[in-house]
Amino acid sequence: MSLRARLLTGTIAGTATVLLCAGIVLYWVIRERLWNEFDQALCARASSLASLVEQEDDDIEVDVDYRAMPEFDQAERPEYLQIWLGDGTTLVRSPSLGAGNLAPPPPEARYPFVSSVGLPDGRPGRFVAIAAFPRLDSPGKRVQPRRIVVGMAKATADLVATLGRIRWLMIAVALAALGLSAGLLFATVGRGMRPLDRLAGTIGGLRPDDLSSRIDLGPLPGELVPVVDQMNSLLARIEAAVQREKAFTADVAHELRTPLAGLRSTLEVSLSRERDSQAYRADLSECLKINGQMQA
């Protein structure tokens, strides 16, 4: 894998990881905030409904006008209300419950009590219950107030749909940001790699018959300056080594020229006419002497 590909792959993968983690955290915060607001709104409504309960002596009355609160009496997407005494006896049931009931909180529950439930009509919903005391309508009398529990349930489909839209919006934004980041990174890395491309082109253009050439790319990033300096130093050392080799070759050729000429002259004279063995021996001795001088 090329350096360019490694830089792009690593940077894009890191950016995607950061966006993913940030998106998960942000979505979790938004989700918790919306659920808390939903629960708090239900608790606030339950508290306002608790104010409709009055106690006179030991009798408790509930004055609920469903005409003013049609959400508890409508056929489509209704809400549900049920009020219990402390012993679990039902005081009020909204018409939307029909023949069903809301499950009261367990005896050990802490209030306000919140849970996810299935509504009587089968929809997923949220149930909240608060403990309260009715308004006393016995002036001048000492009456022991009786605790009541007000329970409300409401469908969560709208909230879930909102969270779904937020989730898809965040995914779209993250993908767009990742695509934009990838484009910017591609352009930035490409621009940053240009000096390396120029360096590679310059090195590829060096000729073996011209070792005096040096790499000169003008202003360079600080990371490439040592590389270029070392390359130029290497070229200088190679040039010096080649020059020394040429000088040595010339010296050797000069030193060998005279003895080789003597050998050739002796051999030519020896071959110029017929000679006796003694003359040939003398010529060979001369050649051997010249060879010994060459090896000295």
Average pLDDT over residues 270-280: 70
Per the model's pLDDT, the better-predicted residue between 144 and 52 turns out to be: 52
pLDDT reported for residue 44: 94
Report yes or no on 282 lying in a domain: yes
Report yes or no on 195 lying in a domain: no
Domain boundary among 165, 182, 207: 165
Q: Over 70: is that where the pLDDT of 28 sits?
A: yes
pLDDT reported for residue 294: 66
Average pLDDT over residues 104-114: 91
pLDDT digits (tens, 9 = 90+) for 146-184: 899 999 999 999 999 999 999 999 999 999 999 999 899
Report yes or no on 11 lying in a domain: yes
CATH of the domain at 65: 3.30.450
Q: Over 70: is that where the pLDDT of 5 sits?
A: yes
Q: Over 90: is that where the pLDDT of 130 sits?
A: yes
pLDDT digits (tens, 9 = 90+) for 227-260: 778 888 888 888 788 888 888 888 777 766 767 7
Domain boundary among 118, 140, 165: 165
Q: Over 70: is that where the pLDDT of 42 sits?
A: yes
Report yes or no on 173 lying in a domain: no
pLDDT reported for residue 157: 94
d(C-alpha 164, C-alpha 27), whole Å: 10
Per-residue three-class SS string for 186-228: HHHHHHHHHHHHHHHHHHHCCCCCCCCCCCCCCCCCCCCHHHH
Q: How many independent structural domains does the chain possess? A: 2
Phi, psi of 132, deg, nearest 5: -150, 175
Report yes or no on 144 lying in a domain: yes
Shared domain for 237 and 100, answered yes or no, is no
Pick from 13-17, 26-30, 178-182 the range whose average pLDDT is largest: 26-30
Domain boundary among 132, 149, 165: 165
Shared domain for 156 and 250, answered yes or no, is no
pLDDT reported for residue 143: 72
Q: Over 70: is that where the pLDDT of 293 sits?
A: no
d(C-alpha 295, C-alpha 23), whole Å: 84
pLDDT reported for residue 226: 81
53-56 and 135-136 beta bridge pairing: parallel
Q: How far is CA 215 from CA 30, 192, 196, 230, 241, in A?
A: 58, 19, 12, 10, 19
Number of H helices, E strands in the chain: 4, 8
Pair 39, 212: CB distance under 8 Å? no
pLDDT reported for residue 240: 85
113-118 and 124-132 beta bridge pairing: antiparallel
pLDDT reported for residue 167: 95
* Structural domain of 103: 3-165
Q: What percent of the chain has pLDDT over 90?
A: 34
Q: Over 80: is that where the pLDDT of 213 sits?
A: no
